[in-house]
């Protein structure tokens, strides 16, 4: 089961990842409320709400415990899912995740993101690009690539505002000790959106977890070149 992050979807984030598991696994890619073709009442999202949605998907789509990969907000939700439904998770991979958003920096970041989202769309996209990718990745896009990105109309999705609001309310500190599934934590060394300290805290709080820190990587860099993370994931979930 692959769980996307804020502003992403099962297709936009993980659509190209299925071949990494073809022939070996059934790949389940749920969408958060506000992403993809999901429809609901538009209520404020809570971690518990999304966890129960994922639990329903896991029960209906899998014949047993799932190997669960969560990215960004998806990693935060996956952590809570593994803690509260241990019977549904065999192995857990947390990519670019964090434990809680109560600190001054995270509150400042997510409130800034929310203000830009509800205000100037162009400024929001500029800020998101600069914090989601490493300086090297932004530079490599070049002037034309960045201009093309700003002209895209399909992103950000309208439901992203609800997900940003949830990001600002993440607090899994009391749940880490309840995560019993073997866990691999993958952090991005140059992450300006979700600093790598979040991965260090996940590793410190989840007993027996493994930590791998990818040098030179921003929050989203790995999505454009997913092979290293996918290979780490495959090795981890296939380990005896």
3-state secondary structure 34-99: CCCCCCCCCCCCCHHHHHHHHHHHHHHHCCCCEEEEEECHHHHHHHHHHHHCHHHEEEEEEECCCC
- For residue 175, the SS3 value is coil
- For residue 177, the SS3 value is helix
| E runs forming strands in the chain | 2-3, 66-71, 89-95, 183-188, 210-214
Strands 183-188 and 2-3, sheet pairing: unpaired
219 is catalytic: yes
40 is catalytic: no
Q: Which of 33, 72, 134, 209 is catalytic?
A: 72
**179 forms bridges with which residues in the sheet?**
none
Q: Which of 106, 191, 199, 203 is catalytic?
A: 191
Contacts of 81 (CB under 8 A, 6+ apart): 51, 54, 55, 68, 70, 88, 89
Residue 85, CB half-sphere, CA atoms under 13 Å: how many? Answer: 23
118 is catalytic: no
* 25 in Cβ contact with 17 (< 8 Å): no
Active site residues: 72, 191, 219
């Amino acid at each position: 089961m692959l769980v996307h992050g804020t502003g992403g979807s099962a297709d936009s984030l993980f659509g190209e990842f299925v071949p990494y598991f073809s022939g070996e696994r059934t790949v389940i890619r749920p969408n958060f409320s506000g992403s993809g073709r999901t429809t609901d009442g538009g209520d404020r999202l809570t971690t518990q709400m999304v966890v129960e949605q994922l639990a329903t998907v896991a029960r209906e789509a899998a014949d047993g415990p799932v190997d669960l990969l969560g990215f960004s907000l998806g990693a935060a939700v996956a952590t809570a899912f593994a803690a509260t439904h241990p019977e549904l998770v065999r192995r857990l991979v947390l990519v670019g995740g964090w434990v809680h958003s109560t600190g001054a920096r995270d509150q400042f970041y997510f409130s800034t993101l929310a203000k830009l989202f509800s205000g100037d769309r162009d400024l929001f996209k500029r800020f998101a690009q600069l914090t989601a990718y490493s300086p090297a990745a932004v530079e490599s896009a070049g002037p034309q690539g960045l201009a093309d990105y700003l002209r895209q109309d399909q992103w950000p999705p309208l439901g992203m505002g609800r997900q940003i609001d949830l990001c600002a309310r993440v607090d899994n500190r009391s749940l880490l000790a309840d995560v019993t599934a073997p866990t691999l934590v993958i952090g991005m060394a140059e992450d300006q959106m979700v600093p790598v300290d979040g991965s260090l805290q996940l590793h410190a709080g989840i007993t027996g977890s493994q930590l791998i820190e990818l040098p030179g990587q921003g929050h989203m860099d790995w999505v454009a070149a997913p092979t290293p993370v996918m290979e780490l994931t495959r090795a981890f979930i296939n380990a005896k």
